[in-house]
Amino acid sequence: MKVIPVSALSDNYIWLIEGMNKQQVICVDPGDASPVLEVLKEKNLTLEAILLTHHHFDHIGGTAGLLKAYPHLSVYGPKDMRIPYVTHTLQGGDILALDSYQFTILSTPGHTSTHICFYEPQQKWLFCGDTLFSAGCGRVFDGSIEALHDSLQMLKTLPDDTQVYCAHEYTQQNLRFAATVEPNNPAIYHHLQKLLNQVPPCSLPSTITLEKQINPFFRIQVAAVKEYAKLKGCQEQDSLSVFRQIRAEKDKF
């Protein structure tokens, strides 16, 4: 079983999850139908279902086009009136049995108020939309910084060897910011150099272990990260205050 990356728009990844019948796939966050349909045709695959993490158009914009090609698809996503075409609504704690998989639905608000992630514990796959990026995290839109903080801290508790499938190729930019937060962290520079030398440039999947080494939003308890937040004006050293300051600095980076 494998996960196939499909590049879309300017920097999105759409993920195709191979089913037990290797000619059937599940599609995660189709922001654009065209590249998905091209891969399906090229590899002689059939679409089985669509999983949506949140309502932003670069994650759902291809749903209509895929439904045109596959009219009877089931579409799974959070309960949110801003997401059309959902046939089955999901919330945190639900178990989605699909093909040979048992996805645990994780409620991860913050980037948006209704964001969810899909975690497959046997395969140790996390499809995290825009909540967690490699070396970063999503901005706050209609969610809250408090919710985003709590969501990231929850994802940090997943098994270390969990493979992290984010929805954007932001890793190099995120690493450059992480290096300003922790200029003496060799893991950041090592990973950045690895990506600069890598062909093709896809940096994903990451792992929870790697994120604990390079992601400032997973490292808010580390002394150097706290010191950076303090230098930027953070008056408190609690987890949420440091997280809020780091996110504010990343917004300006």
Average pLDDT over residues 105-134: 99
Mean pLDDT of the residues in the chain:
97
Report pLDDT for 1.
77
Domain boundaries, the chain: 3-174+201-218
Residue 64 has pLDDT above 90, yes or no: yes
Distance of alpha carbon 120 from the chain centroid: 14
Residue 211 has pLDDT above 80, yes or no: yes
Residue 168 annotated as binding?
Answer: yes
Identify whether 191 is a catalytic site residue: no
Catalytic residue among 56, 115, 149, 191: 56
Report pLDDT for 241.
98
Residue 88 annotated as binding?
Answer: no
Residue 142 annotated as binding?
Answer: no
pTM: 0.97
pLDDT band at 234 (very low <50, low <70, confident <90, very high): very high
Residue 110 has pLDDT above 80, yes or no: yes
In angstroms, what CA-CA distances link 56 with 41, 79, 129, 209?
26, 14, 10, 28
pLDDT band at 22 (very low <50, low <70, confident <90, very high): confident
Identify whether 168 is a catalytic site residue: yes
Rounded CA separation 218/149 (Å)? 10
Residue 149 annotated as binding?
Answer: no
Identify whether 130 is a catalytic site residue: yes
Residue 88 has pLDDT above 80, yes or no: yes
Rounded CA separation 235/238 (Å)? 9
Rounded CA separation 166/74 (Å)? 22
Catalytic residue among 55, 115, 149, 168: 168
Instruction: Quote the percentage of the chain above a pLDDT of 90.
Output: 97
- pLDDT tens, residue by residue, 138-184: 999 999 999 999 999 999 999 999 999 999 999 999 999 999 999 99
Residues 6+ apart with CB under 8 A from 169: 7, 11, 12, 13, 201, 202, 203, 204
Instruction: Quote the percentage of the chain above a pLDDT of 70.
Output: 100
Q: How many CB atoms lie within 10 A of CB 46?
A: 11
Which superfamily, per CATH, for 3-174+201-218?
Ribonuclease Z/Hydroxyacylglutathione hydrolase-like (3.60.15.10)
In angstroms, what CA-CA distances link 206 with 182, 185, 228?
20, 18, 25
Report pLDDT for 250.
98
Residue 54 annotated as binding?
Answer: yes
- pLDDT tens, residue by residue, 25-45: 999 999 999 999 999 999 999
